[in-house]
Amino acid sequence: MGFTRILFLTLLFVWAADVQCQNVKIFNVKKYGAIPGGKTENSKGFLEAWKNACQWKGKAVVLVPAGTYLLDSVKFEGECKGYMIFKLKGNVMAVSKLKDINQWITFKYVNGFTLAGRGTFDGQGHKVWPCKRNGQCQTLPISLRFEFIKNGNLQNIRSINSQNAHVSIFAGSNLNISNIKLFAPQDSPNTDGIKISSSEEIRITRTTISTGDDCIAILNGSKKTHISQVSCGPGHGISVGSMGGNTVIDNKDIVVGLTVKNSTFTNTSNGLRIKTWASHYQGLASGFTYEDIIMNNVENPIIIDQQYCPNSPCDAKAASRIQIRDITYSNIRGTSRSKAAVTLSCSSVVPCKNIVLKDIKLVYTGNEGPASSICSNVHGHSFGVQNPPSCFRSA
Ligand SMILES: *[C@@H]1O[C@H](CO)[C@@H](O)[C@H](O)[C@H]1NC(C)=O
Ligand SMILES: *[C@@H]1O[C@H](CO)[C@@H](O)[C@H](O)[C@H]1NC(C)=O
Ligand SMILES: *[C@@H]1O[C@H](CO)[C@@H](O)[C@H](O)[C@H]1NC(C)=O
Ligand SMILES: *[C@@H]1O[C@H](CO)[C@@H](O)[C@H](O)[C@H]1NC(C)=O
């Protein structure tokens, strides 16, 4: 290789590296007027940083540096010209009364997005939970809403004391959530960890959720949801539904394709739950695999409840028309706080089909004898160890 050729290649390399670097631009919220210290409300500075970043054609990093930033309700919307990164190094704290009752922070219409950093979103829930508990406020804002976000990553952040759910994903696709932490007290009202609806290919891994409601709620329109290495508890478990609670005529609720693997539930009210309202609306829940799950002191480790009717508008005597089928529970072990460690309570009009139980080892810790199974309107098979004894004939 001649000298000129090497020189040429070196220059080409330097030029390419330079283009790559130029391609990344940082938009520090402080440069757009945000002031840390927890006293000044900063939505203007944050939005200004986002707007400018959104116009950048390369990788745009909206940076929230160390410090505590007070923030009212804000929506960070696309379409954006390049790849958007929201990097939270500091802490963002909700103002005491958020102006939008539905949301605190929303990310919307972004294709190619990362929310990262080791910072914290602090919803200041303890300031509003009393009004929820005594019925003096109706809706409370969800901390982080992701709507119409495609091809994204959500990693390393923490959300604490959300007023309502911590994270809600609507109309998302190909989103990877990893290493996040969601915390709220066990008795905080409606503080679901992650709610998913009308979304496809949402993957959640290496995540810790301790909260007052469902750790993860998989709702209508969720397809191909993958959950692994999640630690849940306290909380209400990983729940599909409630399904069939809508009142839109001719509309169906559908949840298809779900895997929950290598996850642990500790001191939760439910473990793996599927619930449908006792109502006339149709739908389908199918293609679920629950595998390698540990239950520590869980009230209802495995539960299908098709008679869910805590309050109107459902009719406790109506039978659910949601079809539940092709559900596999494999290697589920640990302790149950209730005697009925396995409850498969299906609909009399559309019985559950092809429910598979494989190696279930659940021990009841109370003093009313060994663990038991409760089954109604369910067809399936069992394989391997069955403790409690399965309702199915073993295959
Ligand atoms: C999410 O993870 C999956 C599986 O590891 C990968 O195929 C996909 O490209 C990832 N998506 C994003 C947006 O990074
Ligand atoms: C359920 O989700 C599907 C797919 O996103 C949607 O078309 C349908 O309207 C939803 N049903 C209800 C009752 O919201
Ligand atoms: C998942 O659990 C299985 C069985 O306990 C174990 O063999 C496997 O290594 C685990 N995988 C991960 C990624 O932790
Ligand atoms: C679970 O609850 C028991 C009491 O029921 C308590 O002793 C234990 O510390 C709790 N475990 C965790 C991890 O919170």
Whole-number pLDDT of residue 210: 98
CA-closest candidate to residue 68, choices 46, 40, 48: 40
Q: Look at ligand 1, atom 5, and give the residue with the nearest C-alpha.
A: 176
Calculate how far, in angstroms, residue 364's C-alpha sits from the geometric centre of ligand 4.
16
User: 262 in ligand 3 pocket by Cβ < 6 Å?
Assistant: yes
Hunting for tokens 């109502």 — which residue is that?
279
- Catalytic, 292? Answer no
**Count, residues in the chain:** 395
Whole-number pLDDT of residue 134: 85
Q: Look at ligand 4, atom 10, and give the residue with the nearest C-alpha.
A: 267
CA distance 84 to 227: 25
Tell me the ligand closest to 155's alpha carbon. 1
Q: Look at ligand 4, atom 7, and give the residue with the nearest C-alpha.
A: 267
Calculate how far, in angstroms, residue 222's C-alpha sits from the geometric centre of ligand 2.
9
User: 266 in ligand 4 pocket by Cβ < 6 Å?
Assistant: yes
Q: Look at ligand 4, atom 4, and give the residue with the nearest C-alpha.
A: 267
Whole-number pLDDT of residue 193: 98
Task: Report the Cα–Cα distance between both ends of the chain, in Å, rounded.
Answer: 70
Calculate how far, in angstroms, residue 220's C-alpha sits from the geometric centre of ligand 2.
6
Mark 297-327 as b/e (b = at least 16 C-beta within 10 Å). ebbbbbbbbbbbbeeeebeeebbbbbbbbbb
DSSP class of residue 170? Answer: E
CA-closest candidate to residue 141, choices 190, 178, 77: 190
Q: What is the CATH number of domain 214-395?
A: 2.160.20.10
CA distance 118 to 66: 10
The binding-site residues of ligand 2, defined as CB within 6 angstroms of any ligand atom, are: 198, 220-221, 246, 248, 251, 253
pLDDT digits (tens, 9 = 90+) for 225-245: 999 999 999 999 999 988 887
Q: What are phi and psi of 369, to 5 degrees?
A: 90, -170
CA distance 231 to 234: 10
Calculate how far, in angstroms, residue 188's C-alpha sits from the geometric centre of ligand 2.
29
Residue by residue, DSSP assigns 9-64 as: HHHHHHHHHHHHHHTEEEEEGGGGT---SSSSB-HHHHHHHHHHHHT-SSEEEEEE
Whole-number pLDDT of residue 145: 98
Q: Are 361 and 385 in contact (CB under 8 A)?
A: yes
Low-confidence ranges of the chain (pLDDT < 70): 1-22, 246-250, 312-314, 316, 394-395
CA-closest candidate to residue 69, choices 114, 145, 142, 124: 124
SS3 176: strand
User: 228 in ligand 1 pocket by Cβ < 6 Å?
Assistant: no
CA distance 70 to 170: 26
Query: Hey, where are the domains in the chain?
Result: 214-395
CA distance 124 to 43: 16
